[in-house]
Structure formats: C-alpha cells, structure tokens
Amino acid sequence: MKSRFVACTFVTVLAVFSSACGGTRTEAKLADRIVIVKSTRTLSLMSGTQVLREYRVALGRNPVGPKTRKGDHKTPEGEYVIDDKKDQSRFYRALHISYPNRADRERARKEGQDPGGDVEIHGIENGLGWIGGLHRAVDWTDGCVALTDDEIDEIWNSVVVGTVVEIRP
C-alpha cells in the first residue's frame, strides 16, 4: 500500500511539474523583417509592428550615406532580403544581404561605377570572438553589419532566407 501511495504521489508531482515547465510551451517567433538604423547603430528583429529584439551593431568604416560603389566602406541603405545563410565564412556565421538591388545597380551604372556586393550581417572575424561587445567601439567593417557571435546565433535562429532587410540612414 505504501509503495502504491509513493508511486501515485510521484506520478502526480511529475504531471504537475511537466505542465508547469513545458505543457504550454510556445516556440520563439520568427522575425519577418530586420530593420537596421545606421544613425543609432541598431538592428531590430520585427514581427509585424512588434520589436522582438534589438541589438547594437558596428557598421562600415565610412557609415554616413548609402553605399554607391565597391570599396567605399559604406553600409547600403534601402530594402533587401536575406538571400543566403553562410555557416562557413571568414566571420562567425553570416547572413548575406541581396545588395545591390535594381536601384543600386542602376545608380552605379549611371555613375560608371561597380556597385560592389557581398554585404552581410555577421559575427566577429573567426578567432576573435573573445572581443565580444568591444567590437562596437568603432565602425570597422567594409560595409557589413556586425554583431557579437552570441547575437548572430540568436538572429540566425530567428530568420529564414527571404526575410526582408530594411536599412535606414
């Protein structure tokens, strides 16, 4: 009788614990848009009008104004999409941005310039992840958007290829 009581008590406690810890578990929301505001050095993961998470970022070494040509070290401005997730990169994980878009290519063509490309949202350069948030002390990329390795992990898991990226001045 005593062992039956202990077994019933154990099952009851287990059931209560399971429902409290995981019975109504919800999955993390996927972001449907990434908004980068260059003037405030922020990247926001959005779901509709709701901000899911906001991060501080480092930008290209010449951050004011839109990217107009290869080698200008500017982060582009406009609307793009994540068109690739690169797990093997010079940087700890990289989300490739679809720069240049049609308007960027047309502007560069009119100016006789190469618009450049290979713009990404990425972590710290491989082997330097220990720098962490200190990387934000200066704008250091060639036109990309940089976060810590832990932050790019969070974003990596919150977006899919095709997610809209809006980069504002």
- Six-digit token string for 82: 């994540």
Taking the domains of the chain in order of start, what are their residue ranges? Answer: 30-168
* Gap between the Cα atoms of 87 and 51, Å rounded: 26
At 45-97, the pLDDT tens digits run 999 999 999 999 999 999 999 999 999 999 999 999 999 999 988 999 999 99
**Multiple choice CATH, 30-168, 3.90.1170.10, 1.10.1740.10, 3.90.550.10, 2.40.440.10:** 2.40.440.10
- The model's pTM is 0.82
Burial class (CB in 10 A: 0-12, 13-18, 19+), 167: buried
At 112-165, the pLDDT tens digits run 999 999 999 999 999 999 999 999 999 999 999 999 999 999 999 999 999 999
